[in-house]
Each structure stands twice: as C-alpha cells, then as structure tokens.
Amino acid sequence: MDYTERLQNVSVLGAAGKMGSGILLLTALEMTDLSLKPENKGKHFVLNAMDVSSEALSGLMKYIRAQALKVAEKKIIALRQVYSDRKDLIENFDIIRAYTEDVVSIVRPTTILESTYQSNLIFEAIKEDPALKVKIFSQINNNNPNKPWFFTNTSSIPITNLDKEAGLEGRVLGVHFYNPPAIQKLVEIIKAENTKDELDVFAREFSKKLGKIVVPSNDFAGFIGNGHFMRDALHGIQEAEKLAGEMSLAEGIYCINKVTQDFLVRPMGIFQLIDYVGVEVCSYIMSVMNPYLPNENLHSSLLDKMIAVGVLGGQNSDGSQKDGFLKYEKGKPIAVYNIEKKEYVAIETFQNKCDEKLGAMPQGIKPWKAVIGNKKREEVLAPVFAQLKEMNNLGAKIAKTYGLRSCEIGKQLVSDKVAHNEEDVNTVMLTGFFHAYGPINNFFN
C-alpha cells in the first residue's frame, strides 16, 4: 500500500478536541490535495471524524470549513492551476468555494466507532488514559480487516506498552503533535520496540508534507518534550515552596513566574505554562512518567491540592485561558491563587514588594517578544546572561539556579537515551515550546 492508498481511508479519534481537530484539519487538507491530482481522479477519499459528542462534531465542521476557506485564500494562485480543467470556475471566489467544499466533503463526522473499521490509518487524540486507548485500539484492530496503522498523539505513555497490550504487532507509532497542531511546527515521532519501519517512513513523509519539523524520541515515558517540561515545572513549584518560608506561597508563585518569564526570557512564566497545559494534565503526566523513574519522584503535593479544590487551569473551547495558579483577564495574569484561603489574591496588592525583593534585571534585557524574531538572538542574549551571572540579587540567583537545572534536565534526557542528542532536546524546546534558546547551553555555567 503506497502513500496515497494509505490516505484514502483515514479515521481521527477524538476529532472534536483541540488536538484532534488540528490533526483532522491537517489530514483533510493533505487528503484533498491528493484527491485533486490528475493521477488520483476517480479515487475515493474518506476521513472519519470520530468523537463522542454530536454537538462538538457540529462545531468541528464549522471549524474545518472556516479553516479550509482561509487556506484556499492563501494558495489561490496554485489552486487556479489545480482547477484549470474546471471551466465553470472563473473567479477566485469560485475556486476558493470549490476547494473549501472539496475539503469538507472528505470529512465524515461520526459518533460510531464502527466507522473506523475500514480505515487504513487511525490517528488517535483521545484522553491520556492508557486503558482507554488500549480498549479502543483492540476493538478497532479486532474488527478491521485492513490491519490498520495506529498513530497515537500521546505525550507521555510508552508506545511499546500500547502495542503489546492492544496486540497491534508493531502497527503503532507515536506521532506527537504539539498544541495547536495546525500552527505548531514540531512533531515528535516515537517508535515502539517492534514498530514496523514503514510506519516511521510514512509518518516522516506525511509530516514533511505538512511542513513540520520532525524530532525522533526514544520510547521512554514523557519523551523529550514532557521529559523536560515536567521536571522544569516541578523545579519551579519547589522553588516557589522554598520562597514561602519568607513570604506567602502566592507571592512565591508570582516571583517564580516572573523570574522564569522575564529574567529567563521565556514566552510565559512556568506557572502560566502549567495553567495553559492544565494543572490536572500536568499531574497526570507526572503520574504516568513516575513509575519509570526509579531515581526520581516526579510528583507535587501542591498540584494535588489544586486539583482537590477544583482549580484546574486548561483552556476553554474558544482557546481562552481558564484560571489555575493564576487568574486571567484578557489573557493576562491579574491574581494568584491562595491555596490556604482558597481565593485569588490580586497581584497589584503585592507586586511592588515582590519586585523589589527580586531586584533589578540585567541592563539591556528585553522581553521574549522582542527577542524571538531575531535570528541572532543567542548572540543578543549572551551578554545579558553574562551580566546576570555576576549579579547577586534574589531574582538573579533564582534565574541562575533555574537555568542550570534546565540544562541539567536536557543533558539527562540525552544520557538516559530518551533523546538521541543535545540538538534534538534544544529543537524540541525551541520549536515545541517557543523558547528563545535551547536549555542545553553555556549561559549559566
């Protein structure tokens, strides 16, 4: 079965979710482009969008239509050539409408798992629950005569476990898109112990056609991205708890969030990133990874406490940020959750005191937004961080410790053979997390 044949009948599980909808969109566009090639004229392409909620699927189809229209507008010149044999399509808006309809017509929304029983390829983006994944994979595998390939978007569960428990005989591959898939360039590809080589070859070709950057990861719980992020997040939590000895925990959280964003020139502070991913999600990923880490304890009682009181973070269906460690207004943090009092404390009530305690930042330091677009940004950052190394205020000390720990985590991923090399670790953090510089560096040594 060649590339085109594999993509003639595809299913996406969890299609209406944030990850699933992005994967579905990208797959629908690639399948549509294939269907419009002269050599594929007359071939039938089907993309099952499977989810448990009919209402969510209705919203998904509106999303697919709107995004397909935007894509058509951007590549109208190429589409004029694609539709050159259609004499009924004269104006640009005719071609844009035709392409949009072609994309939408491929997608079949469904709440019935049986729809997947004829697919050659299954993209899975359901809840991060290994038992549920195994159950669904097994059901499809036992009822699908095509011996389908399974591409799982898991960000933490070892692929080998899924392969063995679902009896897939090497027909499963970790294809971890980053959030949101339609925008994020990074894809981590993870082979299980017995994954067939042809799955890896196909996934790389597919990812390349989507314009993605592929980084291979070995099959170790958490892989590269979460392997770094979860340890980085735990370090941030522990640093905030240390500060709570001389200030309130809410103030400590504010301080660590500020240092990780402003002093370390990151796109957002570590507590804001935890909120973005979701407090409960972070805790769950740690629990998945922890059994595979005999020399570490990847667990936070603070996350447990937040979950117990229902402060979970994450995102609303429209992409807006839910409140977590921080309370947000128009996407910006305005308060910090006080776990003892179970209420939010406005940042403005203690910001000046905390900023004064942290001390000044290095001269010439710029926010992440002003740095990220500079191709020589590491050269710009080097003198700033050299200056920070010589500073002794609280903010600088925390930043130096944080930078060194981040580097240590990155090198650990290589020594533990999770990542193939240091460059892959840096690529994941640069591309998947939008960092301005890789964690493995000499800035803080």
Helix axes 130-143, 159-166, angle to 10 degrees: 50
- Distance, CA of 154 to CA of 166 (rounded, Å): 15
- Residue 63 inside a domain? The answer is yes
60 and 96 together in one domain:
yes
439 is a domain residue: no
In a domain, 444, yes or no: no
168/31 same-domain check:
yes
Distance separating alpha carbons of residues 159 and 215, to the nearest angstrom: 16
Backbone angles phi, psi at 295, to 5 degrees: -105, 10
Q: Are 210 and 328 contained in the same domain? A: no
Structural domain for 276, as ranges:
225-432
How far apart CA 90 and CA 118 sit, in angstroms, is 37
Which of 217, 237, 268 is at the close of a domain?
Answer: 217
Same domain, 21 and 166: yes
Query: At 311, which CATH number?
Result: 1.10.1040.10
Give domain status of residue 312, yes or no: yes
**Residues 179 and 229 occupy one common structural domain:** no
What does the pLDDT profile of the chain (445 residues) look like in tens digits? 999 999 999 999 999 999 999 999 999 999 999 999 999 999 999 999 999 999 999 999 999 999 999 999 999 999 999 999 999 998 999 999 999 999 999 999 999 999 999 999 999 999 999 999 999 999 999 999 999 999 999 999 999 999 999 999 999 999 999 989 999 999 999 999 999 999 999 999 999 999 999 999 999 999 999 999 999 999 999 999 999 989 999 999 999 999 999 999 999 999 999 999 999 999 999 999 999 998 999 999 999 999 999 999 998 877 789 999 999 999 899 999 999 999 999 999 999 999 999 999 999 999 999 999 999 999 999 999 999 999 999 999 999 999 999 999 999 999 999 999 999 999 999 999 999 999 999 999 8
Residue 320 is predicted with a pLDDT of: 86
The answer to whether residues 3 and 202 touch, using CB atoms and an 8 Å cutoff, is yes
The answer on 292 and 256 residing in a single domain is yes
Q: SS3 breakdown of the chain: % helix, strand, coil, rounded to 5?
A: 55, 15, 35
Instruction: For the sheet with 326-329, list strands across it.
Output: 326-329, 332-338, 343-346
Domain final residue pick, 158, 185, 217: 217
Are residue 234 and residue 209 in the same domain, yes or no?
Answer: no
CA distance 22 to 25: 5
The alpha carbon dihedral of 392, 396, 402, 406 has a sign of negative
Number of domains in the chain: 2
> 394: which 2 tokens?
């609280």
Beta carbons of 432 and 184 less than 8 angstroms apart: yes
84, 102: one domain: yes
Domain contains 248: yes
19 in a structural domain: yes
Whether 197 and 238 map to the same domain: the answer is no
The reported pLDDT for the residue numbered 385 is 97
Whole-angstrom Cα distance, residue 438 to residue 273? Answer: 17
Q: What was the pLDDT predicted at 316?
A: 83
Q: Residue 315 gets which letter from DSSP?
A: B
Residue 86 lies in a domain: yes
The answer to whether residue 440 sits within a structural domain is: no
**Rounded to two decimals, what is the model's pTM?**
0.94
Indicate the residue among 190, 217, 244 that finishes a domain.
Answer: 217
**What pLDDT was estimated at residue 245?**
87
The two three-digit tokens of residue 61, written as one number = 């189809």
In this structure, what CATH number is given to the domain that contains residue 145?
A: 3.40.50.720
- 187 plus 260 within the same structural domain: no
Q: What is residue 315's predicted lDDT score, i.e. its pLDDT?
A: 87
Q: Which amino acid is at 408?
A: E
Indicate whether 209 and 275 sit together in one domain. no
Catalogue the long-range contacts made by 336-342 (C-beta closer than 8 Å, 24 or more residues apart).
Answer: 336/250, 336/251, 336/253, 336/254, 337/250, 337/253, 337/306, 337/311, 338/248, 338/249, 338/250, 339/249, 339/250, 339/302, 339/305, 339/306, 339/309, 340/249, 342/309
Q: Which two tokens stand for residue 125?
A: 């983006």
State both tokens at 130. Answer: 């290994």
- Co-location of 189 and 238 in the same domain: no
- Please state whether 180 falls in left (phi above 0), alpha (psi between -120 and 50) or beta: beta
